Structure 1
Amino acid sequence: MSSEPTLGYDVFVSDPAPMHGSGELPNGEHRSYQPIATTLVHGERDAVLVDPPLTAAQAQAVGDWVQASGKRLTHIVATHGHGDHWFTADVLAGRFGAQVVASAGAIEQMHGNLAAREVLWDALWPGQIPPSPVTAVTPPGNGICLEGRDLALVDVGHADSDDCAVLHVSDLGLVVAGDVIYNGVHLYLGESGGDLGPWRKAVDTVTALRPTHIVASHQNPQLDDDAGRLVAETREYLDAAETALATYETPVAFFDAMVARYPERLGRTVLWVSAQALYLAREGGDPVQSLLAAWL
C-alpha cells in the first residue's frame, strides 16, 4: 500500500536591499529596508513558491535555492499587491515555467503598485527591479492543488494594504501570512490612516484557521514560526501603536516611543515611514502624495 505524499515547507529570507531616500532616521541610523521571506511549500516532486522578492539579485538567489531543492515549481503565489512580494514573479515564472496566481483583490492592488513603480519603487531601488508585468490570474475557487493536497488562498481584507490574502496549507497547519502577520519586524502602518481595526479583523481571520505555524513575509530569520507567538505579538504591536498614536503629537515622538518599546525589532526605516504617514494623514490632503512624501 503506497502512502500519501507528504508536504513540507522551507523559507528563504532575503537580506534588505540597498535603499535610496532622503536623510537619516530620527535616531541617526541610515535607511535600510526589511528582510523579505519567500516560502517554498513542497511535496515529493512539485512545489509552490509564495511571495517572491523585490530585486533581480534577490530573485536570482531565490531561484537558485528553488533549483537546488530539485522540485518542479508549478505556481508562484502573491499574497497581496505590494511590489516587494511580487515584482520578480514574472522573472521566476519564466525561469521555471510556473503560473503566477493571486486573489482578485490582490491583482487589482498589483496594478496600482505597478503604476507607482516609477515614482516610488524605482526611486527607492533604482536599477534593481526587473520588468514586472502583472501576469497573475486568480485560481478557480482561490485554490491550488499540490500533489493532491489543497492549498487555499484566504481573503482577509485590509492589513498593511488593501485586499490581502494568506495561503492556508491545512495539511501542515501552516499559514503563509504575507504582511498580515509580522515576526520580529516593525509593522508597516502607513496605509492604515490610523485605523487599525481592519488589521485586527484580518488577524482574527488568520487565527480562525487554527495554524500551528505562520510564515511572516517580513521576519527576523533568527525567530521561529510559532503561530501563537506571532499572532499575540502582532496584536500587541497594533495595540501599542494605537496607544502611541493617541499619546504623542509628532512622528518623531511616535518613532522614539516605538523604538524604546521594541528595541529588538528590525526595520526601523519602515517604522519611520509609518510614523510620517500616520501624522500626515491627520492633516488631511491627498493620501497618495502623503505616502510618497513619507517614503521619499
Structure 2
Amino acid sequence: MSVSVTRFAAPTASVNSWLVADDTSLIVIDVLRSSAEAAELADEVAASGKQLLAVVVTHGHPDHYIGLRTFAERFPDTPLLVASREIADDITGFTAWMESVGWLDAEPTMKARSTANPDGFDYGIIQVADRTELTLAQGAVVRLDTDWPAAEADHTTVVHVPSANAVFTSDLVYSGVHAWEGPQVTRDKIQSWLAALDTLLERYGTHVIVHPGHGPQGGTARYEEIRRYLRDFLNVTEAATGREEATAEMIRRYPDHEQADFLLPLSIDFHVHA
C-alpha cells in the first residue's frame, strides 16, 4: 500500500492544501483562502482520476475553508468534514465577523445564506465527522486528533497518517511565513501554542514529516523554527514602543518570511497598541 502526499501552495495568505492519496482515492486537507485558487485545486483533484473521499477543514479560519463552496459544487457527493462541532461553530462565527468588517466582499458567494442573502453559502452542509479515523480506499488510516489547546485557533485538528509517516499540523506550525497572531490570539494562547509544539514532538515522534498549514514540509526542526518565531514575537511586541518599531524588528529578524504585508501587520496591530 503506497500513500502519497502532495502540497498545493496558494499565493493568498501563503496557505497550503494537502492531498493525501493512495492508488485510487484521496482526501483533501483544507481548501484555501481564495475561491479561484480552490478551483485550481479542484482541477488538480479531478485530473488525478481518483475518488475524493472527503474534504477535511482543520480549523475555523477562512484561509482554510473559503474553497468549500467550490468543492461542494465540483464534488457534490463528497462530504465536507470538520472533526468537532466546535470547529463548525468557529467557521460560522468567523464568517459572521468577516461579513461585519467587509472581509468577505471579495468572496461574496461565501457570505452565509440567509433570507436576505439566498445565494450565500449554506454552512449547514458542513458535517461533523462521526469518527476519529478516516480510511483511504486501500486501507490507509487518516487520524483526526482534536485535543489541542486554544492557540493560533481556538480549536484545531492535527491529521496523522502513520503509513506515510506524516503529520499535518494545521496552523500550529508555520514555516517561512509570518504566523497569525491577530485578533483573539492572546499572549496566553501563544504560551499554549508553545506547549502544543512540545506535545506534537512527544506524540508523533522525532522522525515524522511535518506538513504545516503555511509553508513547506520538513522534519521536526519545523517545530523549533515556529517556537523561536513565537518567542521572538512575544519579546518584540512587549519591548516595542510602537507598531512601526515592532514590525521593523520582526522583518529584520525574519527578512525572508512571507506575509510581511498581511499576516504580520494584523498581528502587530493586535499586540502593540501605541
1: distance between equivalents of 2:72 and 2:41?
12
Of 119, 122, 128, 1:133 maps to 122
Partner of 1:119: 100
Q: Quick check: 91-100 or 40-49, which moved more?
A: 91-100
Of 135, 144, 151, 1:153 maps to 144
Deviation of 1:140 after TM superposition, in Å, equals: 2.6
The amino acid of 2:245's aligned partner reads A
5+ residue gaps, structure 2, are 112-119
Partner of 1:236: 228
Change (3 A) 1:176 1:124: farther
Deviation of 1:266 after TM superposition, in Å, equals: 0.3
Change (3 A) 1:38 1:209: same
Partner of 1:254: 246
The amino acid of 2:35's aligned partner reads A
5+ residue gaps, structure 1, are 17-33, 284-296
SS of aligned partner of 2:52: strand
Q: Quick check: 134-143 or 267-276, which moved more?
A: 134-143
**Kindly, what percent of the aligned residue pairs are identical?**
22
Partner of 1:197: 191
SS of aligned partner of 1:91: helix
SS of aligned partner of 1:116: helix
Partner of 2:204: 209
Contact map agreement 1:75 1:99 (CA 8 A) in 2: yes
2: distance between equivalents of 1:272 and 1:122?
16
Of 97, 101, 109, 2:90 maps to 109
Contact map agreement 1:41 1:48 (CA 8 A) in 2: yes
Q: Quick check: 125-134 or 34-43, which moved more?
A: 125-134
1: distance between equivalents of 2:78 and 2:104?
29
Partner of 1:273: 266
The amino acid of 1:154's aligned partner reads D
Question: What are the within-5 Å matches in structure 2 for residues 1-296 of structure 1?
Answer: 5-16=1-12, 34-96=13-75, 97-104=77-84, 105-120=86-101, 122-123=103-104, 125=106, 127=108, 129=110, 131-134=120-123, 135-147=125-137, 148-155=139-146, 156-190=148-182, 191-195=184-188, 196-207=190-201, 208-210=203-205, 212-219=208-215, 223=216, 225-268=217-260, 269-280=262-273
TM-score by length of 2: 0.87
1: distance between equivalents of 2:134 and 2:69?
18
Deviation of 1:124 after TM superposition, in Å, equals: 6.3
Change (3 A) 1:69 1:264: same
The amino acid of 1:115's aligned partner reads A
Contact map agreement 1:157 1:165 (CA 8 A) in 2: no
SS of aligned partner of 2:145: strand
The amino acid of 2:64's aligned partner reads H
Q: Quick check: 110-119 or 69-78, which moved more?
A: 110-119
Contact map agreement 2:35 2:107 (CA 8 A) in 1: no
Q: Quick check: 162-171 or 122-131, which moved more?
A: 122-131
Give CA deviations for 1:176-218 in whole Å, capped at 9, x if unaligned: 1221100110011113222221111222232221262122122
The amino acid of 2:212's aligned partner reads A
Deviation of 1:249 after TM superposition, in Å, equals: 2.3
The amino acid of 2:82's aligned partner reads A
1: distance between equivalents of 2:196 and 2:134?
22
SS of aligned partner of 2:232: helix
1: distance between equivalents of 2:9 and 2:71?
16
The amino acid of 1:74's aligned partner reads L
The amino acid of 2:144's aligned partner reads L
Deviation of 1:273 after TM superposition, in Å, equals: 0.5
Contact map agreement 1:46 1:146 (CA 8 A) in 2: yes
TM-score by length of 1: 0.80
Partner of 1:30: none
2: distance between equivalents of 1:83 and 1:108?
13
